[in-house]
Amino acid sequence: MPPTRTMSVDLSWRKREFHIKDTHNSNPSPLYTIHCHSHSDKALSIHSDTTDQLIGTSKIHSATGGSTYKLYGYNGSIQAEKQAQTSYTFLSWAYSTYPGTPVQMSWISRGGLKTWDFVCVNDRQETVAKFSANMWAMKNVGTIEMTGPKAWDRTACDEIVVVGLTLYYGWLMRVTGLSSDSMGSSLLSMDKKKKKDKSGKQGKTCYEELGEVGDAVGILNDLSLIG
């Protein structure tokens, strides 16, 4: 196995889903599907496509800046720390070297012009994972890179995905000021309008097709997601 494992993170606004795939495969199938709840915009359900199981759920708490999650039935929390740099702590079972006792881990947030990195370090301040978010992407929103002896460990990967995606989703909601449900609803309304137009009109011109693309871009621009 390579010393590092890199996974791509794609976002479908229309379906309100994240899809995580292994970039080491030439024709990868999803490893995880993360659903953003339609009636509770700040809650996630994380499904492992490898084992065909729901492995975790999470909830973003805007008032505190933290989050709570459940992984394999265990309750956990992500606490925002006020230090020189933004960091978040959580208790890890996957990376603990003491049976029956979790170890405290940290995610450190580092921003740039194009990407925003969330670096996960263990209790010895060694990097075990990094979530690099593409600030300007609409679909391929980022990558997760796992390093160290547990880079290919399924339990560790499940934990990094649940905690990392929860952290990223909370950050995404803050920087865009938008819920995934709002975005999905906007695009769905546009779809319904187009289907209604199609029922009464046939043979669209190329200009009409381009107009529909323009409608989609306009929605994204109005929501301050592009442009």
Q: What is the pLDDT of residues 13-61, one digit of tens each?
A: 888 899 999 998 877 889 999 999 865 568 999 999 999 999 999 998 8
Both 55 and 119 in a single domain?
yes
- Look at residue 112 and tell me whether its pLDDT is greater than 80: no
Backbone φ and ψ of 68, nearest 5°: -120, 155
What is the percent of the chain with per-residue pLDDT over 90, rounded to a whole number? 50
In a domain, residue 227? The reply is: no
In a domain, residue 69? The reply is: yes
| pLDDT: which is higher, 97 or 180 | 97
pLDDT for the residue numbered 29: 86
pLDDT for the residue numbered 198: 52
Both 170 and 192 in a single domain?
no
Copy the structure tokens of residue 154: 């399924």
Both 193 and 145 in a single domain?
no
Both 53 and 111 in a single domain?
yes
Both 202 and 131 in a single domain?
no
Q: Which domain holds residue 191?
A: 180-222
Backbone φ and ψ of 34, nearest 5°: -115, 120
pLDDT for the residue numbered 41: 63
Q: What is the mean pLDDT of residues 137-150?
A: 93
Both 47 and 35 in a single domain?
yes
Both 126 and 14 in a single domain?
yes
Both 119 and 40 in a single domain?
yes
In a domain, residue 134? The reply is: yes
Both 138 and 198 in a single domain?
no
Instruction: Choose one of 146, 161, 176: the last residue of a domain.
Output: 176
Q: What is the mean pLDDT of residues 96-125?
A: 90
Both 54 and 89 in a single domain?
yes
pLDDT for the residue numbered 203: 44
Closest to 102 in 3D by CA, of 112, 110, 93: 93
Question: Residue 216: helix, strand or coil by DSSP?
Answer: helix
Spatial distance between the Cα atoms of 104 and 92, rounded to a whole number of angstroms = 6
